[in-house]
Structure 1
């Protein structure tokens, strides 16, 4: 059955193909969730409600938060409690963290005592803490068991889950000794002891680690699941690669949105109400607009020069946008390099030297093009820059060098300064850097013009 056929059935309310287990052996819950997410909210909700309870629990973690909220609000209390209590600890936490504080306290009451306490404890942890991603559902065995005994123990005491791909060897106190992939249990003789197949290498996270550290550990060691211990080496839980990928995606989305000069969105773009979208974008636009007003102030300060040499005003957009663009480029490169840990604060001098040199070279390239553009228009008779057109070309040449160097310097240093003050570098969004460079760029441009043109174009004014 193709996804299109499924979608048609869903839209037409014909859900039998999902409810009938024979018909959907080959369909993963994530594929069904993808279809539900694209349907109108009410259709998606009624489709979800028609599933058997076990399927609901399987499907719930895969639908987006917007639909999750609608489902829990839309089903009766018993049903909502059943779903929330049967989720894995990380999926349950992911749902609760997405709620408003009011809804959070309301739905916490739906949980049984153990789940409620565990969820409240997790919600109380710092936002970046690895403990928030900890899945407490993991399988353990002892080193002195034979493989046959270990298999029997696992069959009796552990349910099938994505965390069961790796089995943990612990001592009597629950301290972590080693981790063993399930394949090693399968491929060795049943009479062998667990301690004979251990390799003694255990990669683990500490409960105090931040999610950033976990992300780099997963990358470095190429693992699908990592154990989490406390300072005493007690095994507390495990973190799976899919949870880490979710966090990475959320973080990247948030940073990209902030970088574009808007507050991050709670829901996907298509599900965000239009007025909420306007509010998220408006705040930054007002701040940037007020900042850009300084551009008008700067131009007002140089109005005599502009009145005397009107030709100067022609090049304002050209010169200014180059500075803003080079600043945005530098900010993008540095923020990304800091996010993937290529650069740290201690590298500021290295970054500054590189960006100043890059800015100088880029400025010379663009300045040369600017000079040639003036020369070409003058010679071809498309525009008359007057007798002193060479001086005008020189002003543009040096202004572009100065402004682009200033742009690359600002763009690269502002994220580092923000990081130094424990602020999110992503908020030094491209528009923010561009605005700063616009205002200062004007001052650089007119100052260079005043020096170079003072004996010619601007002479009458003096």
Structure 2
């Protein structure tokens, strides 16, 4: 398709090109345009009808949007902005340089500018920052016929008309009516008789991730946002909720991988920025390994007596780290999905301890059998005693790792920190030091039995 577009542009067959582009979804069109040389974007964009052009513009990355805005005439920019929803305009403004923002605001009408400023004044991670102020509201004494007339009059410029909100004169939210309810009711039925009064709504200051999770919980298409006086000030729609969940998931994954979060995509982020995002955690983890080295140094006497002990250190550290990672990943995900609450701390810890006992017994037995088979003929070491020492150490390490992997994310959530910070890199570092300490204490305690 890319070659086809470039061919038609080169031959100046704009009417034919427009006809072919009309059948493409706005998101797919934005993806397609990303592969077109940037100098062709203004021409290609001007070919599209206003509504399709605006929908495609919203799906583009910020570099493409900035390039197009700079290439627009004042008339074109004003026409395009008139087709955008307020929340989409806010998203664009937040990513543009100051000179571009100034030009955008210059060509928005005073009412839209007021709504944009209202949204921008809310905290970045709040429901108010992702809501749109464009919705259809009704009054409880309206009839269904009145409601349809209101939708036909005001609904064209609103982001959604599938859910309508019943408010008082002071804008207090008192009910919700779906488009389905209206279509299935008689024209003379009063809105008060069919509206749903059991309303799920959020405050403007509510965390946007909490709001996004409500969509999954209740299968909503939109959620009303109210202020402290319960006045309806906006709605959050499903498309914005999906964007929030995607951003939050990406942020959690990067934190769990010991990388500082970054807003740009992988290829748009410079090599220097990638390194900058990774170095702090790597430095912390590297320097924290000093404790492990110090512990090992203190037990040099045990090494000299039984050098074979050193060969089991990687096994213990890897097993402990892996067990801690398994627990932390499941707990962090459970916290993110609200399946696990901070009040479930003891319940979750008790479950992980039981899992650790089962896992520890299996790994200890299998490893013990391996040690006996491999080292029973070694004249310098008692294979059975070594199997017991390693088995007990494995059990203790796995229980500790599972406990930390479960407890630390929940405690972080309790302290209002991101549970993803307590992911595998940090837990592995802690477990490494503890497993070595446990291992050599047991080895020293059973030294007389280990040597034949």
* Superposition TM-score, scaled by structure 1 size: 0.87
Q: 1:9 aligns with which of 4, 19, 26?
A: 4
Q: Unaligned 5+ residue runs, structure 2?
A: none
Question: Greater shift after overlay, 77-86 or 175-184?
Answer: 77-86
1-side partners of 2:423 and 2:15: how far apart? 45
Distance 1:190 1:280, change over 3 A: same
SS at match of 2:165: strand
Distance 1:25 1:98 in 2: 28
Q: 1: CA distance between counterparts of 2:79 and 2:164? A: 28
Equivalent in the alignment of 1:401: 395
Secondary structure, counterpart of 1:164 in structure 2 = coil
Q: Equivalent residue for 2:153?
A: 156
TM superposition shift of 1:321: 0.5
What displacement does 1:421 show?
2.8
Aligned to 2:406: 412
1:447 equivalent in alignment to 2:444:
no
Q: C-alpha displacement at 1:419, in angstroms?
A: 2.4
Residues 32-85 of structure 1 show CA distances to partners (whole Å, capped at 9, x for unaligned) of 122234556666677446645544322121123454344445656665565456
Asked if structure 1 preserves the Cα contact closer than 8 Å seen for 2:383 and 2:450, the reply is: no
The offset of 1:400, in angstroms, is: 0.6
TM-score between the two structures when normalised by the length of structure 2: 0.88
Offset of residue 398 of structure 1:
0.9
Residue in 1 that maps onto 2:315: 318
Change (3 A) 1:358 1:21: same
SS in 2 for 1:282: helix
| 2:427 alignment partner in structure 1 | 433
Structure 1 Cα separation of the partners of residues 438 and 41 of structure 2: 58
* 1:323 Cα offset (Å): 0.5
| In 2: Cα distance, 1:327 partner to 1:218 partner | 31
Q: Which shows bigger deviation, 107-116 or 222-231? A: 107-116
Distance 2:401 2:43 in 1: 54
SS in 2 for 1:177: strand
CA distance in 1, matches of 2:296, 2:352: 28
Deviation at 1:92, TM superposition (A): 2.0
Contact 2:251 2:261 in 1 (8 A): yes
Checking the alignment, whether the CA contact within 8 Å between 1:218 and 1:224 is kept in structure 2 is yes
Structure 2 match to 1:391: 385
Q: CA deviation at 1:248?
A: 0.9
Q: Is the 8 A contact 1:228 1:235 kept in 2?
A: yes
Cα distance between partner residues in 2 of 1:23 and 1:455: 82
1:97 aligns with one of 82, 94, 98: 94
Distance in 2 separating the partners of 1:103 and 1:438: 51
Task: Describe the superposition over 1:277-301 as per-residue Cα deviations: whole angstroms up to 9, x where unpaired.
Answer: 2221222112211112332222222
Gaps of 5+ in 1: none
- How far apart are the structure 2 equivalents of 1:187 and 1:149? 15
Give CA-to-partner distance per residue, 1:269-321, whole Å, 9 cap, x none.
23322222222122211221111233222222222211221100111111111
Distance apart, 1:107 and its partner CA = 5.9
| CA offsets 1:122-157 (integer angstroms, 9 cap, x no match) | 233223311112111111233333333332232223
Q: For the residues of structure 2 that align with 1:142 and 1:431, how far apart are their CA atoms?
A: 55
Aligned equivalent of 2:195? 198
| 8 Å CA contact 2:22, 2:48 repeated in 1 | no
8 Å CA contact 1:49, 1:75 repeated in 2? no
Query: Separation in 2 of the partners of 1:18 and 1:284?
Result: 55
Q: Could you tell me which residue of structure 1 aligns to residue 172 of structure 2?
A: 175
Q: Secondary structure at the match of 1:353?
A: helix
Q: 1:21 to 1:101 in 2, by over 3 A?
A: closer
State how far apart, in whole Å, the 1-side matches of 2:145 and 2:321 are: 67
Q: 1:159 is paired with a residue of what secondary structure?
A: helix
Q: How does 1:6-405 map to 2 (within 5 A)?
A: 7-10=2-5, 12=7, 14=9, 22-38=19-35, 47-48=44-45, 51=48, 53-72=50-69, 75=72, 79-80=76-77, 83-84=80-81, 86-99=83-96, 111-378=108-375, 384=378, 386-405=380-399
> d(CA) in 1 for partners of 2:333 and 2:174?
37
8 Å CA contact 1:223, 1:241 repeated in 2:
yes
Please report the RMSD computed on the Cα atoms of aligned residues, expressed in angstroms. Answer: 3.0
Deviation, 1:214, is 2.1
**CA-to-partner distance for each residue in 1:232-278, whole Å, 9 max, x for gaps?**
33221111111111101110111111111101121122332222222
- Give CA deviations for 1:215-247 in whole Å, capped at 9, x if unaligned: 343233322112222233322111111111110
Query: Retained in 1: the 8 A contact 2:66–2:100?
Result: no
Secondary structure of 2:224's counterpart equals strand
Q: 1:34 to 1:308 in 2, by over 3 A?
A: same
